[in-house]
Amino acid sequence: MKKIIIKIVVGVLLVGVLLGGYLINKIFTSNTKFEQEEVYVYIPTGSNYEAVKKIIAPYVENLDKVDWVASKRGYTENVKSGKFLLKKGMSSFSIVRSLRLPVPVKLAFNNQESVDKLFERIASQVEPSVAELKAVFENEVFLKEHQLTKETLLTYFIPNTYEFYWDVSAEDLAKKFEKEYQRFWSNGRAEKAKGLNMTPAEVYTLASIVHKETAQAAERPRVAGVYLNRLKANMPLQADPTVIYAVKRESGDWNQQIKVVTFNDLKVNSPYNTYRIKGLPPGPIFMPDVSAIDAVLNPEKHNYLYFCASVEKFGYHEFAASYEEHLVIAKKYSEWVSKQGYKR
């Protein structure tokens, strides 16, 4: 009798060992087939488990093992959308667990040439498409609520790094950008804009010109001071970057390279050509850095009305208070341009 009991116990243990080994192999052994240390998979909103299997198939060695774990852990009926991290050597158990844990996306943007370019950048980093973004941000109700126009819409977006989940909706993106906009302008900046008799959108627009005029952040307050002096004197801004923008906008060729503004360029009939119009253009020509916005809000106080690129200190400018002084500086620059082979 004892021998029979011993045999039964041994048999049970053996079955247990075999079953345990089977389960360990099914659940806890490596089940990936990619060489890189980690990959990200993106599961769209509304996906079912069959769609998930197609998405992860290129990265999984044995889908049946994942199937078994997913069914036992209730994942097949509770699929999550989002961006998910898979690491090399993950087991089926770890894969299913990771598919429950969406990872956040660092959405960063700055220096965008236009709203369309901005939407393309956003859509490349989160789930909403360009069309979905346009439907939210360019509709008349949204523009009216935020006192924007299609020309000033870019001013709504403050360059920064934002954190979202990949499957964030376009509506929730708008809420986040609204909070950042309010935070940015409530930090004393709105009051400074009022002190300049300008709206935030006008400050942003002028900052876009200042940014394009000089890459030197330290020089931006001085350049901003020139343009503010011109606005006060009711003089046209005569900003070359606005002419370049106008030429590209009128031609529809945003990729053309314009190294030197020609006299023909100055004739382009556009509300963005500040050689032809007084005051600010209808909206920004670029998404400026925060340093350029702050340069407009904190301009250098001086009596300069003119500036021209320096031929002695490249990347910087020479400034003048009188037109006669400016002509001397501009002549040096014009002669330098001619030597480079550029035609004006």
pLDDT tens digits, residue range 176-186? Answer: 999 999 999 99
pLDDT tens digits, residue range 318-331? Answer: 999 999 999 998 88
Q: Which helix or strand (DSSP H or E) is residue 132 part of?
A: helix 130-137
Are 97 and 85 in contact by the 8 Å Cβ rule? The answer is no
The pLDDT value given to residue 28? 62
pLDDT tens digits, residue range 72-100? Answer: 999 999 999 999 999 999 999 999 999 99
pLDDT tens digits, residue range 150-198? Answer: 999 999 999 999 999 999 999 999 999 999 999 999 989 999 999 999 9
- Indicate whether 113 and 165 sit together in one domain: yes
Nearest to 185 by CA among 156, 207, 163, 217: 156
SS3 state at 325: helix
The pLDDT value given to residue 76? 94
- Indicate whether 161 and 83 sit together in one domain: no
Low-confidence residues in the chain, pLDDT < 50:
9-22, 344
Among the candidates 165, 186, 207, a domain finishes at 186
**What are the backbone angles phi and psi of residue 79, rounded to the nearest 5°?**
-70, 140
Q: How far is CA 311 from CA 219, 314, 335, in A?
A: 16, 6, 10
- Indicate whether 207 and 315 sit together in one domain: yes
Q: Say which residue the tokens 């961006």 belong to.
A: 83
- Indicate whether 331 and 208 sit together in one domain: yes
The pLDDT value given to residue 155? 96
- Indicate whether 319 and 209 sit together in one domain: yes
Are 233 and 305 in contact by the 8 Å Cβ rule? The answer is yes
Instruction: Give the range of the structural domain holding residue 173, as residue numbers without chain letter.
Output: 106-186
pTM of the model: 0.85
**Number of folded domains in the chain?**
3
The pLDDT value given to residue 12? 45
SS3 state at 82: strand
SS3 state at 258: coil
- Indicate whether 46 and 71 sit together in one domain: yes
